[in-house]
């Protein structure tokens, strides 16, 4: 997560969308003011302020922005120039625009990737694991948040929240070192307690289940923050009205709580669909073991092994570009779909 | 006052009033509490197990006797870790790195978020777009790698500090929080003749301590737990002294794996002695964060919900 910005920390994104359903409220207020009273004059006068006065008054703002902009240009936009390498011969000693075009009018590496069985397997694994995460993993924090919301003991709730956030703060290296110990086939603790010898991480199918389970274990509690914050936005009068009408607890959840967090769920669904081809690195990489490579090798690991370890830079740049483009397309498509159904969407 | 606690208190009040409560809900309450209690145990027990293992004797671990309570109490493993130069340096270095990264990141995040709240900032929309665009499209692993290679940052600490020092999400959160500060405060300060920087220092920063604490935690956790950038960018053996604790732990665990069968049968650890030491190292690598986050949790939940109310 730390390395690749494509992996969206959903909670953070949500914080933004809940805080500012209509971006940005203050600015909107100013515009309203501008249309009416005398403040209008002041505002338009401000925007017609001559450059020298403007710079004297607000120039320091640009000074503040220098370093962040240098950062974005250098570390986010310059690499985009190197994407060109995906269409060129494999040579990173020269700048990519000086290298000759690759064969097949530049698309050689893409063709090569799609003929490569390892890549196709990685692609399948990525999509499969992400789909499982989406279908099984996404409802969990919602259910958990509903339970937390219904919890009647405030002090217990606070302690529970703290404990439930704990796994989020463990790194995948730590988690893999703990779980490979707990889940080992013969003398793993869980098998010992159960008196069985289930290969939790030994076969591909079981490994996938463990992978999904650990993902839920790590992020479920943390992701409830999103939904709990959304739940606070529900008007309490709705609950009171439902109670007056004699609604049971389940009916209240179904008719008040869930509709109240529907737009949140949709936004997260859009983001998740947008990342159906995005792949984490740490999670499959650390949890993997030689027995289950067939299930655990995702695109991110493919890129790491071929590109950084194997120096096939052009091929892995092409794969990365394919991944980024598909991500953007999925994000745009799912956002458009959500809007078609009358939801707010991400933007 | 966070809104989450607010809801809790209204729930609490409802219960105390006893007006709405029926016997049915009480059964429901217990079931829910039980469910959450079990989930809590699920989150907590693995860490308790690790703690127990790290305090046990090596024999007990080989016999796999340890569950939640140490057998053959001793703190040898911790002593070994604290006297092994490799581990101590790795912990120190990761701590230094984390503090440096967090300071740099939070400063840059403030610098980036603050000017964007000025609605009459010329070119502001363009800058905004530049920043938001990187959230949806990134060049990918290899172009970043080539860039760092060309800049000469590979195998230096810079490759772990600079490439991820601003997170767009954190900038957005910070900006949102700044938007929540009433405009009138800023205008009042401006009328008193304060320039933008003065307004930032005197008005915005003191009011946004909760969000600064929250984002610092996010950045610090990201760096402390960060592993893949070190794995990819620190390749030469000279750079081993820059290995953060997570990468070192990963290597220790991986090196102790010997054969494929052993992975399946024994997990990743080969013998009892190193098992206790590894567990102690895991404790060292997790405790700093586990100690800090519950204290900051209050701030970040408050930060999130204050924003929600204002929005």
pLDDT, tens digit, for every residue of B148-173? 999 999 999 999 999 999 999 889 88
Domain over A10-23+88-340 is classified CATH 1.10.3720.10: yes
Are B108 and A67 in contact (CB < 8 Å)? Answer: yes
Min CA distance, B261 vs chain A (Å)? Answer: 9
Exposure of A108 in the CB half-sphere (CA atoms within 13 A): 16
Q: How far is B282 from chain A (nearest CA, A)?
A: 6
**Nearest 5°: phi and psi at A167?**
-60, -25
Q: Average pLDDT in the B202-227 region?
A: 91
CATH topology of domain B79-310: MetI-like fold (1.10.3720)
A200-230 burial, b if ≥16 CB within 10 A, otherwise e?
A: bbbbeebbbebbbebbbbbbbbbbbbbbbbb
Three-class DSSP category at A101: strand
Q: What angle do CA B118, B119, B124 make, to 5 degrees?
A: 80
pLDDT in tens, A137-160: 999 999 999 999 888 888 899 899
**A25-37 pLDDT per residue, tens:** 444 334 334 344 4
State ipTM. Answer: 0.83
Whole-angstrom Cα distance, residue B57 to residue B70? 8
A121-130, B76-85, B185-194: which is most confident: A121-130
When pLDDT is cut at 50, 70 and 90, the band that residue A47 belongs to is low
Per domain, the residue ranges of chain B are 79-310
Contacts of A315 (CB under 8 A, 6+ apart): A90, A109, A112, A113, A306, A307
Report the pLDDT averaged over residues A333-343. 84
How many residue pairs from chains A and B have C-beta atoms closer than 8 A?
363
Q: Does A42 touch chain B (CB under 8 A)?
A: no
Chain A, 251 to 280: residues with Cβ < 8 Å from chain B are: none
Which tens digits make up the pLDDT trace of A270-300? 888 888 888 889 999 999 888 888 999 999 9
B105 pLDDT above the threshold of 90: yes
Quote the CA–CA distance of A64 and A62 in Å, as a whole number.
5
Decide if B112 and A68 are in contact by the 8 Å CB cutoff. Answer: yes
Residue A238 pLDDT exceeds 80 = yes
- R_g of chain B, CA atoms, integer Å: 25
Does A308 contact chain B (CB < 8 Å)? yes
CA distances from A133 to A326, B114, B158 (A): 18, 36, 34
∠ CA A13-A16-B109, nearest 5°, is: 90
Of B306, B286, B169, B162, residue with least CA distance to B225: B286
Residues in chain B with CB shorter than 8 Å from the CB of A203 are: none
What is the average per-residue pLDDT within B18-46? 79
CB contact A184 to B (< 8 Å) = yes
**How many residues does this entry show for chain A?**
347
Residue of A nearest to B109 (CA): A68
Instruction: Name the residue ranges covered by the structural domains of chain A.
Output: 10-23+88-340
Helices (H), B114-226: 124-136, 141-151, 158-161, 168-180, 183-191, 196-199, 205-207, 209-225
Is B6 exposed, middle or buried, given 0-12, 13-18 or 19+ CB atoms closer than 10 A? Answer: middle
Q: pLDDT at position B256, please?
A: 65
Q: Which two tokens stand for residue B162?
A: 């600079």
Q: Grade residue B257 by pLDDT with cuts at 50, 70 and 90.
A: low
């Amino acid at each position: 997560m730390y390395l690749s910005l494509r992996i969206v920390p959903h909670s953070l994104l949500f914080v933004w969308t809940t805080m500012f359903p209509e971006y940005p409220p203050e600015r909107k207020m100013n515009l309203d003011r501008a249309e009416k009273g005398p403040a209008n004059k002041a505002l338009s006068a401000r925007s017609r302020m001559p450059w020298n006065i403007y710079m004297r008054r607000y120039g320091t703002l640009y000074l503040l922005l220098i370093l962040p902009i240098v950062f974005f240009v250098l570390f986010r936009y310059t690499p985009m120039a190197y994407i060109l390498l995906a269409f060129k011969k494999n040579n990173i000693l020269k700048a990519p625009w000086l290298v000759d075009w690759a064969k097949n009018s530049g698309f050689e590496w893409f063709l090569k990737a799609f003929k490569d069985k390892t890549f196709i397997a990685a692609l399948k694994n990525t999509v499969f694991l992400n789909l499982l995460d989406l279908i099984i993993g996404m409802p969990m924090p919602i259910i958990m948040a509903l339970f937390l919301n219904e919890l009647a003991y405030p002090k217990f709730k606070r302690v529970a929240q703290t404990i439930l956030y704990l796994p989020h703060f463990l790194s995948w290296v730590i988690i893999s070192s703990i779980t490979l110990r707990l889940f080992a086939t013969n003398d793993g603790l869980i098998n010992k307690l159960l008196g069985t010898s289930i290969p939790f991480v030994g076969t591909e199918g079981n490994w996938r289940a463990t992978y999904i389970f650990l993902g839920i274990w790590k992020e479920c509690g943390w992701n409830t923050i999103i939904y709990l914050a959304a739940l606070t936005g529900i008007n309490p009068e709705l609950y009171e009205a439902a109670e007056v009408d004699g609604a049971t607890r389940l009916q209240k959840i179904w008719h008040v709580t869930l509709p109240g967090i529907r737009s949140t769920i949709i936004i997260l669904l859009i983001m998740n669909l947008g990342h159906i081809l995005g792949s984490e690195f740490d999670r499959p990489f650390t949890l993997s073991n030689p027995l289950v490579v067939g299930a655990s090798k995702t695109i991110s690991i493919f890129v790491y092994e071929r590109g950084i370890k194997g120096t096939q830079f052009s091929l892995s740049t092409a794969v990365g570009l394919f991944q980024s483009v598909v991500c953007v397309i999925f994000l745009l498509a799912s956002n458009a779909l959500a809007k078609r159904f009358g939801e707010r969407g991400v933007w | 006052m966070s809104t989450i606690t607010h809801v809790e208190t209204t729930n609490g009040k409802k219960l105390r009033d006893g007006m709405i409560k029926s016997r049915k809900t009480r059964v429901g309450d217990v079931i829910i509490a039980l469910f959450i209690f079990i989930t809590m145990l699920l989150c907590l027990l693995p860490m308790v197990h690790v703690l127990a293992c790290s305090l046990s004797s090596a024999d007990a671990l080989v016999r796999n006797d340890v569950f939640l309570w140490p057998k053959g109490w001793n703190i040898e493993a911790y002593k070994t870790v604290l006297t092994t130069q490799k581990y101590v340096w790795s912990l120190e270095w990761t701590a230094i790195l984390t503090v440096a990264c967090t300071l740099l990141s939070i400063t840059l995040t403030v610098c980036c978020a603050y000017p964007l709240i000025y609605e009459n900032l010329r070119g502001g929309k363009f800058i905004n777009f530049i920043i938001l665009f990187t959230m949806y499209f990134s060049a990918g692993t290899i172009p970043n790698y080539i860039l760092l290679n060309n800049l000469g940052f590979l195998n230096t600490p810079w490759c772990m500090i600079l490439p991820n020092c601003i997170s767009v999400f954190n900038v957005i959160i910070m900006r949102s929080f700044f938007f929540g500060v009433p405009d009138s405060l800023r205008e009042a300060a401006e009328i008193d003749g304060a320039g933008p920087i003065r307004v930032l220092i005197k008005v915005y920063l003191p009011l946004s301590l909760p969000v600064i604490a929250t984002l610092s935690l996010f950045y610090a956790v990201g760096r402390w737990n960060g592993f893949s950038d070190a794995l990819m960018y620190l390749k030469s053996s000279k750079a081993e002294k820059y290995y953060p604790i997570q990468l070192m732990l990963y290597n220790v665990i991986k090196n102790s794996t010997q054969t494929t069968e052993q992975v399946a049968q024994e997990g990743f650890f080969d013998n009892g002695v190193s098992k206790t030491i590894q567990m102690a190292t895991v404790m060292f690598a997790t405790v700093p964060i586990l100690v800090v986050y519950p204290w900051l949790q209050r701030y970040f939940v408050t930060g999130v919900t204050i924003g929600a109310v204002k929005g």
